[in-house]
Amino acid sequence: MRFCRLLAGVYLFFGENKVKAIPVLLSVVFLVVVGSLAVGCATVGDRVAVIENDPRFPFPQHAFDQFAIAPMMPTVKTQEEMDDMVVGLFREILRNDLIVDSNGPQTRDGFRMVFRHFQEEVTHGLLDVSHISTSEAQGYGMLILAYMAGSEGRLGLSPEEWIFGSTSLKDYFDAMLRTVIEFPSNRGSSMFTGRLLGYLEPVGENRGGYRLVNGIKTAPFTRDTLAGDSATNGDMDIIYSLILADRQWGSGGSYDYIGIARAMLADLWHFCVHDTYYVLLLGDWAKTAANPVHRSAIRTSDFMISHLKAFRDVDPSHDWQAVIDASHGAIRDIRNAQNNLGNTNGFLPDFAVRGATGWEVPSANILGAHDYAFSYSAALVPWRLGTTYMLFGNAAIGDSTLYDYIIRPLDDFARALTEGLHLGGLGPRYMDGSPFEWVDPNWFVPPFAITAAAVGADQQWVNTFWNYTPRHVWDFRGLNSYQGDTYGDYIRLIVLLTITGNYWIP
């Protein structure tokens, strides 16, 4: 684009005597081509990657032509207003949720950074205040940075608000990547450590494991020796973000994004794909776990079919189609059994285990409370599988399972529960649809905006997500509301990117 503008500028400069412009134009072409060959390009696999900071797919993209299923758009917001909502939430995240490694280089080209994990630990009296970030938070952050590249001019950040004089979100992405590289799992894989520590003492200046130094949140990054193995879901997002980065900026610069992605995919396959069932396990620790249940348990929010399709495309060395097929089979096993019990709501449990006849809802907890229910992990299923369905339709897994068993039933349940108006009722549910005592709508509501848009059955229902008025302090605050709940904020932003058409296929 800049090259074309340069040629046009030379041509116009000569006014009416365009003949004089021809040799100059040829010279410009020659110099640009030679310069590009010398310093601007590098061969990566089967394509050429340009070494530059300018994104190839700058926000906003409005890539609806890539969607197999066009989402139903709201009639209460224009596209520009929706894009502004995305930018507004992203701006607040950048202002509040970035932490820099105080033990690392304090320079634009060397600093290490994370998106933080929870900011209100001290306020709520939780014990893990030193956990400044996790694999999941890092994955969300890197996805967001890759998709938001090109939005720098819309953010309205002052020079002082950019860390160490950074001028692009590529700087931030690379800072996140440096952290991933520097703090791998303690199990010997290249995947990111499941949890990262900051300051250990929950007193004084500490607010969730960090301190404010010269306007920058900082902490001495340290791998958690007890929980420093990997988490499959976070690493899948990190790898997918690297594939995005390769498409966005190319892999011929400071970091070979696609090469790093392939190395991590090799470890993901070796450590986290079941040797017999080809499902994704919980982390790089699962195959050798002391508890035999953990050696084959699966997390349903890891059914990221769109991620797996990208993995298959860039890593033919491993059979990622087998993982797609295994995920499909697990979805059918669980939903067939639940439908036979009369639970036709489309829910998947947080975790599933291998039973005598296939994959089933566990009878007890796997890692935490309510693992056998639609809780804080499975709450991401409408987002993950809803996104897959919108991008690829029934072709995602070869039949209508996603729509018939998950997308449409979830949307039907949510609409009936809320009567199309009261979103605050969406929250954790047992498999029969009955609620838990605690409801967190700002976490649970946004993923249902994707299933609503994907089904497209009710314009008023879709509009409700965009112009909802909270009824009380604990109610849903809006798709672009910054709550300081980190995970929830990140999920809301990625949901917004998806239903505004700014989520594109790498």
Per-residue pLDDT tens digits for 184-197? 999 999 999 999 99
- Whether pLDDT at 56 is above 60: yes
Q: What is the pTM of this model?
A: 0.89
Q: Give one word for 393, left, alpha or beta, with left for phi > 0 and alpha for psi -120 to 50.
A: left
Mean of the pLDDT values across residues 355-371?
93
Lowest mean pLDDT among 70-74, 207-211, 358-362: 207-211
- Whether pLDDT at 434 is above 90: yes
Mean of the pLDDT values across residues 134-138?
95
- Whether pLDDT at 29 is above 50: no
Phi and psi torsions of 79, nearest 5°: -60, -40
Report d(CA 293, CA 180) in Å as an integer: 29
Tokens of 300: 């349903």
pLDDT at 294: 97
Largest Cα–Cα separation, the chain: 83
pLDDT at 486: 87
Sort 141 into a burial class: Cβ within 10 Å, 0-12 / 13-18 / 19+: buried
Task: List CB contacts of 331: < 8 A, sequence separation 6 or more.
Answer: 303, 348, 401, 402, 405, 406
- Whether pLDDT at 284 is above 90: yes
pLDDT at 18: 39
pLDDT at 346: 98
Strand partners, 115: 98
What's the Cα-to-Cα distance from 356 to each of 30, 353, 359, rounded to whole Å? Answer: 68, 10, 8
Confidence of residue 52 (pLDDT cuts 50, 70, 90): low
- Whether pLDDT at 85 is above 70: yes
pLDDT at 118: 64
- Whether pLDDT at 19 is above 90: no
Confidence of residue 378 (pLDDT cuts 50, 70, 90): very high
- Whether pLDDT at 501 is above 50: yes
Kindly state the DSSP code that residue 292 receives in the 8-state scheme. Answer: G
Judge whether 148 and 141 are in contact, CB under 8 Å. no
Q: Give one word for 125, left, alpha or beta, with left for phi > 0 and alpha for psi -120 to 50.
A: left
Report d(CA 189, CA 272) in Å as an integer: 10
Confidence of residue 201 (pLDDT cuts 50, 70, 90): low
pLDDT at 207: 58
Using H for helix, E for strand and C for coil, what is the string for 484-503?
CCCHHHHHHHHHHHHHCCCC
Tokens of 405: 């068993």
